Amino acid sequence: MTELDTRPPEAAPPRTDVDDLVQHDRVHGSVYTDPEVFELEMEQIFRRGWVYVGHESEVPEPGDYVTRRIGGQPVILTRGKDGVVRVLMNRCAHRGNRLCNAESGNSTTFRCPYHGWTFNNDGSLVGVPMRTGYDKEFLARRSEIGLAPTARTDSYRGFVFASLAAEGITLAEHLGRATTAIDRLLALSPDGRLDLRAGWMKHQHMSNWKMVMENNVDGYHALFTHESVYSAVREAKVSHVPSKVEVCVRDMGDGHSEIDYSAEYTRLDEEFVWFGRAPRAKLPNYVAAMERAHGPADTHRALVVGPPHTLIFPNLFLAEMNIMMVEPIAPGETVAYTTPALIPGQDELNGRMLRRTEGAMGPAGFLIADDGEIGARNQLGLAARKPDWIVLARGRDTDEADETGLVNHDKSAETPQRGWWAHWAEVLGGRYNSRDGAES
Amino acid sequence: MTEPAAATGTPVDPALEPDVLAFLHLEARLADEARYSEWESLWAADGVYWVPMGPDHDPRVNLSYVYDNRKRIRSRVAQLNSGARHSQTPPSVMRRLLTNVEVLDRGADTVTVGANFVLYEYRHALTTWAGRVVHTVRRRPDGSLELVAKTVHLVNAGGPVPTLAFLI
Ligand code: FES
Ligand SMILES: [Fe+2]
């Protein structure tokens, strides 16, 4: 067992020597503020690794598209006439104009407003106006010119990820154990599908993107940051005092982590604790559809265990019945996108879900508005360069390894943060995305 | 019961009763001055406070920034009054202008009023908010007024939106 590190602060580490910034139970404060670290993150995490882009339900029909950004680069997530979901770089192959300028829509072709080049939504160039101005050699090469696809696109049960790098580990390797969280969410859908089309709240956070992400799996802050909810509005769904509940935190490996309420809910053996304790009788159609699909026993279990509270590295948070994706803008600025994970066809459930999302999440949410404020103050605090280190030692001697990862039965342990940072250092150090066994 | 005119509807009646206009100005000032409980007392039992994310959104199928029924208005005010709503501790310093006021619709005992607004909010820095606000005000049998609906169409509803924990 080790003691809290009380070594005197050293001189600031060399700026991009990642291993000097992350030391298991402490992290150098500059990781949130240094523009060079931010650039390195864009390169190693967002341009080389797998990044969550969107959900297949956002583009259900051929021609449907949504526009997104991956590490600052504009992309189009679209479904082709062939039904295939693609992620294309949103840049005209002629002279670089941003091709698609709407957030969402339906179009099987994109016509560039600058000089009128037209592209099919599979990326191929299908129209060049005034073609007589081009010579034979160009026209012969025309079929090679098109929208650049992201180097790799893959999905897991409707969740679409892309990598801008041609080489590296597979999506399955990247997701690792995090697929269990997606499975847990989809177990709450009678047919295993979701509908992410209620609209995205776009919430500007004046803090570093990692602060926004890791706060989501911080089981320590709720009693303090969200005191106003529990004191003035309603009690927490289960106690936030770690000794009173069987809630654990888990470093799932590969940067993914979670707060897991399932043992506590199972102990209570009560359905919908995670959904405002709504009684079954209020959701008869949903419960009936679940029982038709899964049978009474599995339905009961799914409704007891509830949804995941799981962070999927680097930019996706399964926020129970919400999906949050996070976009870094600058070292001190982030946009969080949030939408409820609606269940297709379940109007009575979905109506409640909309109101619950508005209540908790986004810029006016009872919870996230305060998380955003605390994040902004964290950024303001970190403008002080001393002390050098942020302390993440909580629970470090009580982490237990099992087949699900590294588990700590104290909900307030900083186990998820230690997992996040260890992985972050691996990725920024260039060791993760090109590790042995990666396919080329 | 007539359908409330859309946020961009055509004015139907140029004459707005002075006490209704004064009521709207009071609502604005109580929100500006973080007088939460007094602001809450303006609301009718069936009141709805709504900040949609798009101009023609339907709250039954679209997510909103705020969609508070009367019960949630009470919770929002209780949270603000707790002193621990960090995103409004201390409260933003605010002043808003309500202008281009038009009567959009009349019901048996209600009047729906559209206006443009500009709101200057100072917390860490000065933030300017602007949009269209539509109020529906009901006259009670005793002649007094209560707020039935307040809908705020932000010009930046498309986002990203900074923290919006104050009363807009
Ligand atoms: S830049 Fe698109 S057609 Fe010229
Ligand atoms: Fe929080």
- Residue A60 sits in a domain whose CATH number is 2.102.10.10
Is the Cβ–Cβ distance between A427 and A229 less than 8 Å? no
Residue A32 lies in a domain: no
Contact (CB<8Å) B65/A201: yes
CA angle, residues B149, B154, B160, in degrees to nearest 5: 130
Examine the fold and report which residue of A155, A185, A200 is the final residue of a domain before the chain moves on.
Answer: A155
Q: How far is CA A8 from the centre of its chain?
A: 36
Compute the mean pLDDT over every residue in chain B, rounded to the nearest whole number. Answer: 94
C-alpha to C-alpha distances, A417 to A217, A255, A362, nearest whole angstrom:
8, 9, 23
pLDDT at B49 over 90: yes
A133 shares a domain with A208: no
Chain B: give the shortest CA distance to residue A55, in Å: 17
Query: What are the CA-CA distances from residue A384 to residues A11, A32, A334, B142 (Å)?
Result: 15, 12, 20, 59
Residues of chain B neighbouring A335 (CB-CB closer than 8 A): 159-160
Ligand 1 interacting residues, C-beta cut-off 6 A = A 92, 94-97, 112, 114-117
Atom of ligand 1 at shortest distance to CA of A112? 2
Question: In terms of C-beta density within 10 A (0-12 exposed, 13-18 middle, 19 or more buried), how is residue B147 classed?
Answer: buried
Residues of chain A with C-beta less than 8 angstroms from the C-beta of B61: 198, 350, 354
Domain match, A95 and A183 both: no
Residue of A nearest to B81 (CA): A232
Q: Do A304 and A204 share a structural domain?
A: yes
Same domain, A330 and A414: yes
Measured from the CA of A117, which atom of ligand 1 is nearest?
3
Based on the domain organization, do A184 and A95 belong to the same domain? no
Contact A407, A399 (CB under 8 A): yes
Inter-chain CB proximity B159 and A201 less than 8 Å: yes
Atom 4, ligand 1: residue with shortest CA distance: A115
> Is A292 inside any structural domain?
yes
The CATH code of the domain that includes A345 is 3.90.380.10
Q: Which pLDDT value is given to residue A431? A: 85
- A217 and A71, same structural domain? no
Distance A221 CA to ligand 2 centre (A): 7
Report yes or no on A237 lying in a domain.
yes
- Give chain B's largest Cα–Cα span: 45
- Residue A320 CA, distance from chain mean position: 12
Distance of CA A209 to the CA centre of its chain: 11
pLDDT of residue A13: 42
Which atom number of ligand 1 is nearest to the Cα of residue A96? 1
* pLDDT at residue B103, as a whole number: 96
Q: What is the DSSP letter of A29?
A: G
Cβ-based neighbours of B35, under 8 Å, separated by 6 or more: none
Ranges in chain A, pLDDT < 70: 1-16, 434-440
Whether residues A203 and A308 share a domain: the answer is yes
- Amino acid identity of residue A310, one-letter, is T
Give tens-digit pLDDT for A51-103: 999 999 999 999 999 999 999 999 999 999 999 999 999 999 999 999 999 99
Does B162 contact A204 at a Cβ distance shorter than 8 Å?
A: yes
Whether A358 and B81 lie within 8 Å, measured CB to CB: no
pLDDT, residue A417, reads 98
Ligand 2 ion: residues within 5 Å (CB): A 371
Asked if residue A171 is part of any domain, the answer here is no
In a domain, A17, yes or no: no
Q: Are strands A316-319 and A309-312 parallel, antiparallel or unpaired?
A: antiparallel
| Residue B57 pLDDT level (bands cut at 50, 70, 90) | very high
Which residue does chain A place closest to B163, by CA atoms?
A363
- What are B's interface residues with A at a Cβ cutoff of 8 A? 51, 53-54, 57, 59-67, 72, 75-76, 78-79, 81-87, 124, 158-165
Which of A207, A326, A348, A370 best tests the B interface by mutation, with the highest count of B CBs <10 A? A370
For the CA atoms of A39, A40, A46, A50, the dihedral, rounded to the nearest 10 degrees, stands at 180
Is the Cβ pair A354, B64 closer than 8 Å? yes
Amino acid B64: pLDDT: 98
Count of domains forming chain A: 2
* Distance, CA of B42 to CA of B45 (rounded, Å): 10
* Same domain as A133, residue A87: yes
Using the predicted structure, report yes or no on whether residue B2 has a pLDDT greater than 70.
Answer: no
| Count of Cβ atoms closer than 10 Å to residue A339 Cβ | 25
Q: Starting from the edge strand earliest in sequence, which strands make up the sheet with A159-163, in order?
A: A50-55, A159-163, A152-156
For position A299, what pLDDT does the model report?
98
| B107's tokens | 């019901």
Residue whose CA is at the smallest distance from ligand 1 atom 3: A115
CA gap A409, A428 in Å, rounded: 30
Asked if the model's pLDDT at residue B14 lies above 80, the reply is: no
Mutate to test the interface with A, among B63, B68, B167 (most CBs of A within 10 A): B63
Tell me the residues of A at the B interface, defined by beta carbons under 8 Å apart: 103, 198-204, 206, 225, 227-229, 231-234, 335, 339-340, 350-351, 354-355, 357-359, 362-364, 366, 369-370, 372-374, 376, 380
Q: A329 with A396, same domain?
A: yes
Please report the number of interchain residue pairs, chain A to chain B, with beta-carbon separation below 8 angstroms.
Answer: 112
**Residue to substitute from B58, B80, B87, interface A, most A β-carbons within 10 A:** B87
Same domain, A181 and A149: no
Judged by phi (left if over 0) then psi (alpha if -120 to 50, else beta), residue A154 lies in beta
Q: What is the pLDDT of residue A240?
A: 82
Let me know if residue A27 belongs to a domain: no
Q: Tokens for A174, please give them.
A: 């990247």
Segment B95-121 mean pLDDT: 97
> Residue A63, exposed/middle/buried by CB under 10 A (0-12, 13-18, 19+)?
middle
In this structure, which amino acid lies at residue A299? T
Nearest CA in chain A to B165: A364
Check A363 against B165: CB less than 8 A apart.
yes
Q: Do B64 and A335 touch (CB under 8 A)?
A: no
pLDDT above 50: residue B27: yes
Ligand nearest to the Cα of A324, by number = 2
Q: In A306-393, which ranges are continuous DSSP H helix?
A: 347-360, 368-381
User: Are A274 and A206 members of one domain?
Assistant: yes
Q: Mark whether A143 and A189 lie in a shared domain.
A: no
* CB within 8 Å: A370 and B86: yes
Q: Which domain holds residue A88?
A: 52-155
Domain end residue (candidates: A92, A122, A155): A155
Residue where one domain finishes, among candidates A124, A155, A186: A155
User: Does any domain span residue A322?
Assistant: yes
Task: Name all domains of chain B by residue range, CATH numbers in brackets.
Answer: 18-154 (3.10.450.50)
In a domain, residue A4? The reply is no
